[in-house]
Chain A
Amino acid sequence: MHATGGATDVAGTGGQGPAGRSSRHVGPYALITSLDDPRTRIPVPERRYIARSDDGQHTVLLSLPQLGGDPQRFLAEAEASRYLLGPCAAPATALAAPGEPAWHARPYLPALPLPTALAVHGGPLPEQTVRALGVALAETLAVLHGQGLTFAGVSPAAVLLCADGPRLTCFGAVRAAAPDGTPRSGLPGLEPGSLPPEQASGGRPRPLGDVYALGATLAYAATGHTTPERDELPPSLRTVLSRCLARDPSTRPQLTELIGALSGDGGTRDGATPVPGPGRLPGRVIAALAHQSGAVLTAEIPVASTAPAPPTTR
């Protein structure tokens, strides 16, 4: 079923037998299913899987670099992501050992990439969901910026919808795609509409680039694409999202301003208007999350005859 992100399709890979340790095996993990649905045609900077440790006890979201990507820069960003804070941060908890093909992982949580969520819902998300999503992501970016970091990788696919709120993945995807000073337009895995113009031309990612990328991502959630015409956007979001998407970084709003606008209280967070809580998701998105969770609970990986080493953690 489309809604599951493909999880059910491989729920029965247990039948492949112990010979499955090849393309379906990465590091200490056996792959269960791909997280992303290629039918959404939205570029993803990583190859992402739901996978399970060989002892069957730990199910993870596993990320590998795109084919042709630089594994060293991929791992460097993954390493840096381990220290991310914020409500929707998704730090890596395990990384490939030196010399091993690159991967990083974090504990599995039922999650739908934003493009999959739109597909499941049957179109753009309700404005209320978009606002809640925007507030949660903006708050997370604000924490990150306070840590002195730039996310450099916000895009529709980087946003995972979970029952308790979104998760922001693909930390540093822009930096990993090409070093600063190298034009990044058209690189595989980078969704062009959410790549800030100054980063596309090779500039070093800075916080206001995250504001641009967030604006594009929220535009995607509200319309189905990252470069909408102005009048496609819900009227109440037009002004603020258009400002996020300004070519000149200095005219983009600050995150606090964005949070205020999305909360609908003009910037003061203690106003009477309630902030839509995170996790307020449409019924079919919840249904798809539950379906994915159930399918992964049911999935069984081939049991290795010898006890494998535990996942490496640095």
Chain B
Amino acid sequence: MPSPLTHDDPQAFGPYRPVARLGSGGMGTVYLARTAGGRTVALKTMHARIASDTAFRTRFRLETDAARVVGERYGAGVVDADPRAETPWFATEYVLGPPLDDAVELCGPLPEQSVRALGAALCGALGQLHASDVVHRDLKPSNVLLTAYGPKIIDFGIARAAGDDRLTRVGVAVGTPAFMSPEQASGQEHSAAGDVFALAGLLVFAATGRPPFGHGQAADLLYRVQYAEPDLTGVPSSLVPLLAQCLDKNPFRRPATDWLAAELHDGSGEFADHLPDAVLADIGRRAAEVWQIMPQRLLAPADEPDMAETVAPARWSRRRLLLTGGTATLAVAAAGTAGVWAWNERGGSGPDRPPAPGPSNRLLPRKRLDSIWQIQVDEDDLFEEVMQPGQLHVVGDMVVTVAPHLIGVTAKTGQRQWASNLMDSDWQVATDGERVLGLGPSDEGASSGKAGGDPLLVTSIDLLTGELNDPQVSLPEFNGELVGDQLVCTANGIAYVVAGRGKFVHSRFTANQTWYLFAVDLSTGKRLWTTPLPARRSGSVRLYFLSAAVVGRDLVALQEANDGTVHAVVRDTRSGAVRWDRPLAGVKASSVQLPLVTDARHLYLGAGELRALRLRDGRTAWESKSSRPGRTYGPPALKNGTLYAIEKGLGMVALDPGSGRVKWEEQGGQGVEADLKAVPVIGTDHAYSRRASKLWAIDLSSHAPTDSYRTTGNRFIAHEKSRTVISMGGNFLAAFPLR
């Protein structure tokens, strides 16, 4: 069921008064709203802070236009819109029917006759879109609503007009990996034939409950979409040849929609005749349920922390915003933020489905957690698969995080000091503990630099306001628009940066780009050294560096090689020369995108076996394989000359970092459930580890758990100055006592 309005929801949007919330997300909110004459609509808004950027506002208007093009037969009919309002909105009919993914979840795979009727009707919808030169680009089960009169396609957040470059730049790319076309997955043109591919995938899902290329991480899906055969197991045999033809990797061999429609269904009967009883019952339930929604508005919670925030003025160019959605591969990740709408949160809440469980704490009962403070942030889980997760930085008195906008929060109180309205997820930030650096394209001058795009900009961010500080280092030799650009790390006033030259294209890495690692002095703006990097495999979704840190004169880093192996590489900070490079067997790239753990002598690695590599030469100093064979560990943490890690089945262990000798093991037998993914946090008297949905404190002298705190978090860092453990996850940022 829909949820009540919150105290700060607007009283009206034009002639429409909101009645209830249907869904909410990082981009905006969808309301059930009503005119004075009682006309009831679904009303979609974009947050004013996001709409303050013209690129997003344009995108919103284009989505409205695309929804108008598809019309009310095959889409949610647009009733009214004001894309110029401070909070832009558009109103559509309230569609009575479940999204296809919900329908399959609720009623099981659809019978063949339903799949055929659905497919034929969707061919009609796509035919109409394509005839208007619009390509949907994100056809997937959660974007198709099953009404009694036929399917309706919603969510045109990334639809675009074929050949419209302006639109392309604004609304481009993204898509959902499981239903992407191979050409889209490789960053090429996704044409009308790409929609046919997605349609076939959607029909496979309808018939079997499984997408044709399975589930999994975005990177794996992207690979399978491009190179693997679809899994048609369970598809009715008479449909297999037809769907296989639509799933051809070559777009030119896929059938046209009108031919496909005729092959799928002869058009007899009404659409409702072909639906199974359970889906019909759900449609009937929705038709009745909307009349039982009573207007209700929550009061302002008395214990709400002061959310006063300063919105940093738009200083950085909107180019970066274009870039956010403008990169096929990375944008896979961005699908959860920029490309996909509030009402498709969690892979799709239709306008008439209840909001996804969990997110948006405005909707949650303010249940008491054990935290010192807790604030809502909007996370993007998809994003983490690709980018470095845990963009959670301790800087002075603050915690700075990207969620998805860069926000600064006072660690002691949880007060949000500022939120940058431009900082989007692909912004690169790094910190040395004292200041935060950002990396992005410069908006100075539209002159396309010799590097193929706008100059690269590196600068620090003012921790009081979230604004960019002077001086801003502009590097016209590099293309600041490339999403492969990376702020690797920073120390002693030097920033270590990966940047490329060459044209911006929708895929991350292409053969005509050249890539460099360099060190730049932030006070003078001078590059100290520059060294070329080997080409990254085309279609790679990870940045060059998985993690990095400066130790003395060493730039210590983990990198993923083109064959997928992870290497530890140490470079000289004075020259960039590689001192040693060592492949690490059995280490997965996705499990080491965490802050590096080093001391003056060693680099420590967990996530599998635990081992220490000598920084001097890369040789193994010790490894758990020999001292404790067969054991598995989570990522380690180092504190006061002791290395801590979670051992699978046992819990916290403390080791001597020099020898790997175990100093103590957790007592009490409660460490079995300990989370192997989260990095433990170490205080002065306690070590903290996550188990189930709790953060456990283990006493460093008794070696047994003493306390536990309920938390939604899955990533934790110590903020020693405020004596707090900061947790992030489940759309909350929260603090717990660090003792």
Binding site for B on A (CB under 8 A): 14, 52, 55-57, 59, 107-110, 162-164, 279-281, 283-284, 286-287, 289-294, 297-303
Contact = CB atoms under 8 A, between A and B. Distances in A.
Given A57-B295, A284-B272, A279 B35 contact: no
B285 interface: yes
17 contacts: A55-B36, A57-B38, A109-B288, A162-B288, A163-B281, A163-B285, A284-B272, A286-B148, A286-B283, A287-B270, A290-B287, A291-B148, A293-B291, A294-B96, A297-B93, A298-B39, A299-B39
B287 A289 contact: yes
Contact of B38 (A59, A280, A292): A59
A16 B431 CA distance: 65
B275 interface: yes
Nearest to B19: A57
A297 B273 contact: no
Contact of B291 (A14, A56, A107, A298): A107
A108 B41 CA distance: 17
If over half of B's interface residues share one DSSP class (helix, strand or loop), that class is named, otherwise mixed; here it is: mixed
A57 B34 contact: yes
Most A Cβ at <10 Å: residue of B97, B288, B290: B288
Interface size class, chain B: 20 to 34
A165 to B, nearest CB: 10
Contacts of B286: 290
A283 B280 contact: yes
Nearest to B42: A297
Given A283-B272, A299-B39, A301-B37, A290 B291 contact: no
Contact of B277 (A55, A109, A162, A280): A280
B711 interface: no
B37 A163 contact: no
A287 B38 contact: no
B40 interface: yes
B94 interface: yes
Given A283-B280, A289-B287, A301-B38, 6 more contacts: A57-B38, A59-B291, A110-B288, A163-B287, A280-B277, A283-B275
B358 interface: no
B284 interface: yes
Contacts of B94: 294, 297
A136 to B, nearest CB: 15
B605 to A, nearest CB: 58
B272 to A, nearest CB: 4
A280 B147 CA distance: 17
B288 A56 contact: no
Interface in B342-356: none
Interface in B556-604: none
Contact of A290 (B37, B40, B97, B274): B97
Contacts, number: 106
Interface in B60-118: 93-94, 96-97
A298 B38 CA distance: 8
Interface of B: 34-41, 93-94, 96-97, 147-149, 270-275, 277, 280-281, 283-288, 290-291, 295
A254 to B, nearest CB: 31
Contacts of A108: 291
A137 to B, nearest CB: 18
Contacts of B97: 290
A161 B270 CA distance: 20
A283 B94 CA distance: 20
Pairs A-B, 6 closest by C-beta atoms: A163-B284, A56-B38, A287-B148, A283-B272, A300-B37, A293-B287
Contacts of A303: 36-37
Contacts of B285: 163-164
Contacts of B295: 57
A283 B36 contact: no
Contacts of A57: 34, 38, 295
Contacts of A284: 270, 272-273
Contacts of A107: 291
A67 B577 CA distance: 98
Contacts of B287: 110, 163, 286, 289-290, 292-294
A56 B35 contact: yes
A276 to B, nearest CB: 11
Contacts of B283: 286-287, 290
A281 B282 CA distance: 12
Contacts of A289: 284, 287-288
A278 to B, nearest CB: 11
Given A299-B39, A300-B35, A294 B93 contact: yes
Contacts of B93: 294, 297-298
Nearest to B95: A294
A294 B272 CA distance: 16
Contact of A293 (B39, B270, B288): B288
Given A107-B291, A293-B96, A294-B96, A302 B37 contact: yes
Most A Cβ at <10 Å: residue of B37, B93, B283: B37
B34 A56 contact: yes
A276 B279 CA distance: 17
Nearest to B97: A290
B290 A56 contact: no
B280 A286 contact: yes
A283 B38 contact: no
A222 B290 CA distance: 31
A292 B291 CA distance: 12
Contacts of A281: 280, 284
A81 B277 CA distance: 33
B148 A164 contact: no
B273 A283 contact: yes
B270 A283 contact: yes
Contacts of A292: 287
A28 to B, nearest CB: 13
B288 A163 contact: yes
Given A14-B37, A291-B149, A279 B291 contact: no
Contacts of B148: 283, 286-287, 290-291
Contacts of A279: 281, 284
B446 to A, nearest CB: 46
A162 B288 CA distance: 8
A290 B39 contact: no
A110 B291 contact: yes
Given A286-B148, A286-B280, A293 B35 contact: no
Most A Cβ at <10 Å: residue of B39, B284, B285, B295: B284
B269 to A, nearest CB: 9
A284 B273 CA distance: 7
Contacts of B36: 55-56, 303
Contacts of B288: 109-110, 162-164, 289, 293
Contacts of A291: 148-149
A131 to B, nearest CB: 15
A299 B38 contact: yes
A294 B281 CA distance: 16
A299 B79 CA distance: 12
Nearest to B96: A290
Nearest to B40: A297
A14 B271 CA distance: 31
B284 A286 contact: yes
A59 B147 CA distance: 23
B277 to A, nearest CB: 7
A107 B291 CA distance: 9
Contacts of A290: 96-97, 147-149, 283-284, 286-287
A97 B147 CA distance: 41
A170 B280 CA distance: 28
Nearest to A55: B36
Contacts of B147: 290
A306 to B, nearest CB: 12
B290 to A, nearest CB: 7
Contacts of B41: 297
A287 B148 CA distance: 5
